[in-house]
Amino acid sequence: MDMSPNMPKSWKVSSKPHKFCPGCGHGMVLKVLGQCIDELNIQQDVIFGCDIGCSLLSWDFFNTDSIQTHHGRTNPVLTGIKRVRPDKICIAYMGDGGGYAIGSQHLVNAAVRNEKLTVIVVNNCNYGMTGGQMSPTTLPNMKTETCPFGRNVEITGNPTQGPEMVAAITGEGAYVARGTVANLRQLKKMIKSALENQINGNGFSFVEALSGCPTNWRTNASDTWDFIENKMTEYFKVGEIKTPQKAEVKQ
């Protein structure tokens, strides 16, 4: 009987087991990303860029060209690479802090310019790597290290709706969606559509993945899934938001 683990062909086997905490969503997102790279047969052409944050633990995850950037700078670094090598498939991978806080201006400008990149933001409602501080996507009243009594939206504003913002400012041909690790089949379809959109040269491609951080949420398996499936989706609606076939923003 074959007992070897069922890993995507594009994964770098020597860097496994990976370094994410048990139950972390990052590994699940990277698994479906690996499956998409395999199915689209683009491993030789991919340039994978990861941010600072727990996403940096993916710097040696794939057997592809990879680059690890400063916090929030993955989008401009990958934009530069894509502009000099438009034949490459550039994937920018980051957390909600990297995408919507320190790197927000880069996301906005890449989206406005409709850069032909694929951006994946893993939304776990906090700054995971630095110990669970409040991030732009921390839910109203959610407790974190820096809002121990719960996020007060009167003071800190409402959580960032990343895909909705990107869909509103990016151009024709863009693909924008929000998936979740609670529905990996759907998330895989979205990431595949985003990569196909870049392969076809249509425009900016953006997928947010709702994900879990049990270490900082201090949740057991059942509470982690309840939070992802029920609490996060009260605020963050899962689905395709903009597709190149349908230029207008889906409601």
* 53 contacts ligand TPP (rule: CB under 6 A): yes
CB-based closest residue to ligand TPP: 95
Q: What share of the chain is helix, strand, coil (3-state, %, to 5)?
A: 40, 20, 45
* 121 contacts ligand TPP (rule: CB under 6 A): no
Task: Give the amino acid at 143.
Answer: K
Question: Which of these ranges, 81-89, 194-202, 213-221, 227-235, lies near ligand SF4 under the rule CB under 6 A?
Answer: 213-221
Q: What span, in angstroms and rounded, lies between the C-alpha atoms of 34 and 37?
A: 5
Count of all residues that appear for the chain in the document: 251
Q: Out of 27, 49, 98, 163, name the contact with ligand TPP by CB under 6 A.
A: 98
What are the residues whose beta carbons fall under 8 Å from the beta carbon of 173, sequence distance 6 or more? 114, 197, 202, 203, 204, 244
Partner touching 214 among ligand TPP, ligand SF4, none, CB below 5 to 8 Å by kind: ligand SF4
Q: Out of 138, 215, 224, 243, name the contact with ligand SF4 by CB under 6 A.
A: 215
Are the C-beta atoms of residues 194 and 118 closer than 8 Å to each other? Answer: yes
* 214 contacts ligand SF4 (rule: CB under 6 A): yes
Question: Which of these ranges, 17-25, 136-144, 184-192, 237-245, lies near ligand SF4 under the rule CB under 6 A?
Answer: 17-25
* 107 contacts ligand TPP (rule: CB under 6 A): no
Q: Out of 71, 106, 178, 242, name the contact with ligand TPP by CB under 6 A.
A: 71
Pairing of strands 118-123, 239-242: unpaired
Question: Binders of ligand TPP among 131-170, rule CB under 6 A?
Answer: 135
* 20 contacts ligand SF4 (rule: CB under 6 A): yes
Q: Out of 10, 35, 55, 74, name the contact with ligand TPP by CB under 6 A.
A: 55
Phi, psi values for residue 69, rounded to 5°: -110, 175
In which residue are the tokens 């020597």 written? 14
Per DSSP (E only), the strands in the chain are: 46-50, 65-68, 89-95, 118-123, 126-127, 133-134, 175-180, 205-210, 239-242
Least Å from the CB of residue 14 to ligand TPP: 23
* 54 contacts ligand TPP (rule: CB under 6 A): yes
Q: Which residues bind ligand TPP (CB under 6 A)?
A: 52-55, 71, 94-98, 102, 122, 124, 126-130, 135
